[in-house]
Amino acid sequence: MVEFAIIATLLFTLLFGIIEFGFAFRDRLTIANATQSAARVGASMGNDPEADIAILRALESSLSTLPNSGIGIVRYADIFRAKDDGTPDGGCPGSNCTRYAYSPGFSPTCDWSPCPENTAVVVWTPRDDALPILDVLGLEIGYAHDWLTDFLPLQDVSCTAPGVNCWSNTAIMRIEPQIFEVP
């Protein structure tokens, strides 16, 4: 019994660790895939004024595999013009970056606040989408993770405000050219 008591503590710590990190890894992989897919949509749209809502819709579609479609997990999405090092040009939020809060039920047609659908929400204008100068689109998703048990002393990832106890995933894509020169 004494030997089992010593081994059981180690066994349960290992078991709970595998379970906790397995769920955290699932969330991270799902959000990383959603971020890449949504950024790819934005990059292909170039300077289209509907690009932001298309990015957010693609993001929502990819998040459907998360529990409750990401409600309570995803907190915000930053769409920005990226500098060479991948950070927002001018900070976020700023003149080249718009932060959208994930607010399901915000309006009947949009789960993001502010809703870029049918409004004058503009990230940066114009987006250079002609050769030889192409802007770089950045998309950062901030998200929270609720640990299943309190058995392990793990970092708080409640993401109560952007950048505060948040995990994030960023995708950087060069905007695809929309205007091609004919030789």
Q: What is the mean pLDDT of each run of 10 residues along the chain (183 residues)?
A: 89 90 92 95 86 91 85 91 86 85 78 75 61 84 88 83 89 81 56
Q: Which pLDDT score is estimated for 122?
A: 54
Q: Which pLDDT score is estimated for 124?
A: 59
The pTM score is 0.85
Q: Which pLDDT score is estimated for 93?
A: 79
Q: Which pLDDT score is estimated for 121?
A: 55
* DSSP structure string for the chain: -HHHHHHHHHHHHHHHHHHHHHHHHHHHHHHHHHHHHHHHHHHHHTT-TTHHHHHHHHHHHHGGGSGGGGTTTEEEEEEEEB-TTSSBTT-SSBTTEEEEEE-TTSSSS-SEES--TTS---SSSS--EETTEE-EEEEEEEE----S-SSS--------BTTBS-EEEEEEEEPPPSB----
